[in-house]
């Protein structure tokens, strides 16, 4: 249950967002106090952000993905809230983008700033050209990211049609790896990072098998898989054979965020 000193979480929804309640529940389960606000509410009153310590952009299909996944959401964030989002992070707060929220977050430049030639990273259509909904193994490189401390592997579901991570140039992927920003990568059942062409374990064909990114500060995390869908032991599809986990994998991400404000 949330405590009196628990961090406050702003769950931002855009038209088409459909994972806001599950994400708020996950943070509440981890001990935070979560409140939903629409993008329009935050646009009209950016001072709302000063009442919260964690901002989360959950999954769904913002604006129907009509102009590309997360594109319109990101455009509104860049145009109306860019300075406020940077200030929110610079005050020591945390930002999490999940699936559609990650797609929007990537396009704001908060995770990886654009250079003089434009965006350095993007998320585009899966190699298969199809929407994919399945559970995946993730290898975790926590680095300094607040959400991922003391986590080395995760088993969580993914569900998207545009989740293939790409960089504009191959050397940029290497640079992100060297800077410790490739926080989450699709992996085999043995925990090894999957090969890019291993579509069984890297289902969307992401470059470097990247499933999630940290910003340089470690305060921002974006990820395509859905940790909020594995916060209860019975959400694991194998629980009847393997037994109930003491700590569901997805819940650990939310607990880490709450713990960082203790």
Greatest alpha-carbon span in the chain? 53
Of these residues, 162, 226, 230, 255, which one is catalytic?
A: 226
Alpha carbon distance 147, 261 (integer Å): 11
189 counts as catalytic: no
Q: What is the pLDDT of residue 245?
A: 85
Q: What stretches of 91-163 adopt beta strand conformation (E)?
A: 94-98, 121-124, 132-140, 153-160
79 counts as catalytic: no
CATH number at residue 198: 3.40.50.880
Q: How many domains in the chain?
A: 1
Unique residue bearing structure tokens 């102009």: 67
Phi, psi dihedrals of residue 193, rounded to the nearest 5°: -60, 130
Instruction: Judge whether 101 lies within some domain.
Output: yes
Neighbours of 75 (CB within 10 A): 15
Domain that holds residue 81: 8-259
Of these residues, 99, 155, 162, 255, which one is catalytic?
A: 99
Of these residues, 22, 228, 230, 255, which one is catalytic?
A: 228
Contact 105, 220 (CB under 8 A): yes
Instruction: Judge whether 223 lies within some domain.
Output: yes
Instruction: Judge whether 246 lies within some domain.
Output: yes
Unique residue bearing structure tokens 């969307």: 204
Instruction: List pLDDT tens digits, range 33-73.
Output: 999 999 999 999 999 999 999 999 999 999 988 878 899 99
99 counts as catalytic: yes
Instruction: List pLDDT tens digits, range 198-251.
Output: 999 999 999 999 999 999 999 999 999 999 999 999 999 989 998 888 899 999
Instruction: Judge whether 1 lies within some domain.
Output: no
């Amino acid at each position: 249950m949330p405590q009196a000193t628990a961090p406050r979480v702003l769950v931002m929804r855009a038209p088409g967002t459909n994972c806001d309640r599950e994400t708020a529940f996950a943070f509440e389960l981890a001990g935070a106090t979560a409140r939903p606000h629409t993008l329009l509410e935050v646009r009209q009153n950016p001072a709302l952000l000063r009442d919260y310590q964690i901002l989360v952009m959950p999954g769904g299909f913002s604006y129907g993905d009509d102009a590309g996944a997360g594109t319109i959401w990101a455009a509104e964030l860049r145009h109306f809230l860019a300075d406020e989002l940077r200030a929110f992070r610079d005050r020591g707060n945390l930002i999490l983008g999940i699936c559609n929220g990650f797609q929007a977050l990537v396009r704001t430049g908060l995770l990886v700033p654009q250079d003089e030639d434009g965006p350095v990273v993007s998320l585009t259509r899966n190699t298969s050209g199809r929407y994919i909904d399945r559970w995946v193994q993730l290898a975790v490189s926590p680095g300094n990211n607040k959400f991922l401390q003391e986590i080395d592997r995760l088993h969580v579901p993914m569900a998207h049609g545009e989740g293939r991570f790409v960089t504009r140039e191959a050397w940029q992927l290497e640079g992100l790896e060297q800077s410790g920003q490739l926080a989450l990568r699709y992996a085999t059942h043995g925990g090894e990072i999957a090969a890019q062409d291993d579509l069984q374990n890297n289902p969307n064909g992401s470059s470097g098998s990247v499933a999630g990114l940290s910003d340089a500060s470690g305060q921002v995390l974006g990820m395509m898989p859905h940790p909020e869908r594995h916060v209860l032991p019975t959400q694991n599809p194998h629980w009847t054979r393997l037994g109930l986990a003491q700590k569901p994998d997805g819940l650990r991400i939310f607990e880490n965020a709450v713990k960082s404000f203790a």
